[in-house]
């Protein structure tokens, strides 16, 4: 059982190691932190931490560095997050202000988060599976091409082009718009997908029925993408700059960034605390092939539930600052999505 002072010594070791990248010795702790005890007493505390496998000596006669278990205890005992500066908060506000659409908002979110933390930034899209279609627009682009625009209450806007044989006049277009809009507007993404089979069932002229069948296929493909989980990322280049913080290769992280499926599964399984924050550290990620990486996230709210935004990097990261940045960005993102929902 680690004593209260032992936890404080662990906190000092983590903070100093993250800042200096050098193993931390008892003398350095006495000099940098006001414990009010001798170096010998600190060495005894460090010996207990080592027995508990919370710190380890990377070399003989060197200082100590945190283990993955030590980082976990440190994160679990965080008394408070490091507050963001006024400049950082202004940067978030300015960077996320007035996005053109949801895709733009999510792209800005990860860019500002990687800028604040220097880590790879990750953001889950809101789940569109429970979103409802609020508007359908069909525009003729030419004799054989129709633009289909779908808008949901979650802020998602999609545009797809449907190509078909034959030509349609204005009266045909009016029939098609009415048919599609009346069938899909107000339905959830899942319900709309199930209803698409009915789109071309009502008797019409052959050219209209053919166009409706093509629209059913194209809209179905789009709604299928809505139901898939999506992840947007930024800052992959930071891994190259931090390669010395990884004991092994950074290739598994680069592969996970490219694949996305692994990261989505990992993020979905992370257990959040009462503040909506979560961390998965080092060997806790071994099942996902990422035993040298840490991920910290914060939940944000959307019209269709919660999703996560956070950062990924080496286990030697500034957890308090990264948590604070993720939480601040998540809160701003929640507010933007809430305002967008109210304005619809």
Does 86-127+230-343 match 133-227 in CATH topology?
A: no
86-127+230-343 in CATH: which number? 3.30.450.40
Q: Which of 24-38, 53-67, 110-124, 151-165 has the lowest mean pLDDT?
A: 151-165
Evaluate if residue 344 carries a pLDDT over 60: no
Evaluate if residue 82 carries a pLDDT over 90: no
Evaluate if residue 100 carries a pLDDT over 90: no
149 bridge partner residues: 137, 159
| pLDDT at position 158 | 86
Average confidence (pLDDT) over 92-108? 91
Average confidence (pLDDT) over 254-273? 90
| pLDDT at position 166 | 78
295-325: pLDDT as tens digits: 999 999 887 778 999 999 999 999 999 999 9
Q: 3.40.920.10, 3.30.390.10, 3.90.1300.10, 3.40.50.2000: which CATH number matches 133-227?
A: 3.30.390.10
* CA 284 – CA 71 distance, rounded (Å): 11
Average confidence (pLDDT) over 37-56? 94
Evaluate if residue 75 carries a pLDDT over 80: yes
| pLDDT at position 199 | 87
Neighbours of 134 (CB within 10 A): 15
Q: What is the DSSP letter of 125?
A: P
**Beta carbons of 185 and 135 less than 8 angstroms apart:** yes
135 bridge partner residues: 151
Neighbours of 158 (CB within 10 A): 17
Q: Which of 25-34, 37-46, 160-169, 282-291 has the lowest mean pLDDT?
A: 160-169
| 66 three-state secondary structure | strand
**How is the chain split into domains, by residue range?**
4-76, 86-127+230-343, 133-227
DSSP states along 242-307: TGGG-SS-SHHHHHHHHH-HHHHHHHHHPPP-TTSEEEEEGGGGGGGT-TTEEEEEEEEEETTEEE
| pLDDT at position 319 | 96
* CA 309 – CA 297 distance, rounded (Å): 5
**Beta carbons of 311 and 325 less than 8 angstroms apart:** yes
Average confidence (pLDDT) over 267-279? 92
Assign residue 84 a region: left if phi > 0, alpha if psi is -120 to 50, beta otherwise?
A: beta
b/e burial code for range 257-283 (CB count within 10 A of at least 16 → b): beeeebbbebbeebeeeeebbbbbbbe
Closest Cα to residue 312, out of 119, 115, 167? 119
pLDDT band at 224 (very low <50, low <70, confident <90, very high): confident
Q: 3.90.550.10, 3.10.580.10, 1.10.10.10, 1.20.1600.10: which CATH number matches 4-76?
A: 1.10.10.10
Query: What's phi and psi for 296, nearest 5 deg?
Result: -120, 140
């Amino acid at each position: 059982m680690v004593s209260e002072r032992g936890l404080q010594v662990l906190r000092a070791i983590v903070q100093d190691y993250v800042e200096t990248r050098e193993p931390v010795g008892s003398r350095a702790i006495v000099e940098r932190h006001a414990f009010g005890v001798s170096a010998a007493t600190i060495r005894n505390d460090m010996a207990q931490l080592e027995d508990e496998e919370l710190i380890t000596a990377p070399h003989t006669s060197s200082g100590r560095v945190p283990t993955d278990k030590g980082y976990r205890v440190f994160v679990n005992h965080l008394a408070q997050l490091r507050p963001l500066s006024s400049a950082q908060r202004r940067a978030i506000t300015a960077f996320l202000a007035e996005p053109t659409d949801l895709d733009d908002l999510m792209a800005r979110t990860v860019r500002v988060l990687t800028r604040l933390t220097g880590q790879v930034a990750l953001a889950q899209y809101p789940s569109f599976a429970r979103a409802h279609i609020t508007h359908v627009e069909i525009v003729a682009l030419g004799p054989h091409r129709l633009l289909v625009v779908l808008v949901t209450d979650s802020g998602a806007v999609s545009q797809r082009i449907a190509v078909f044989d034959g030509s349609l006049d204005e009266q045909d277009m009016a029939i098609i718009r009415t048919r599609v809009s009346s069938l899909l507007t107000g339905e959830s993404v899942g319900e709309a997908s199930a209803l698409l089979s009915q789109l071309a069932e009502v008797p019409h002229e052959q050219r209209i029925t053919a166009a409706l069948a093509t629209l059913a296929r194209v809209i179905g493909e789009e709604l299928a993408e809505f139901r898939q989980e999506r992840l947007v990322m930024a800052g992959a280049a930071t891994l190259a700059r931090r390669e010395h913080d990884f004991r092994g290769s950074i290739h598994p992280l680069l592969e996970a960034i490219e694949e996305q499926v692994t990261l989505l599964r990992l993020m979905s399984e992370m257990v959040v605390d009462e503040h909506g924050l979560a961390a998965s550290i080092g060997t806790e990620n071994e099942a996902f092939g990422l035993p040298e990486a840490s991920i910290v996230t914060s939940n944000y709210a959307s019209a269709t539930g919660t999703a996560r935004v956070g950062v990924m990097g080496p286990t030697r990261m500034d957890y308090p600052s990264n948590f604070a940045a993720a939480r601040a960005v998540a809160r701003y993102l929640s507010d933007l999505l809430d305002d967008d929902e109210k304005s619809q």
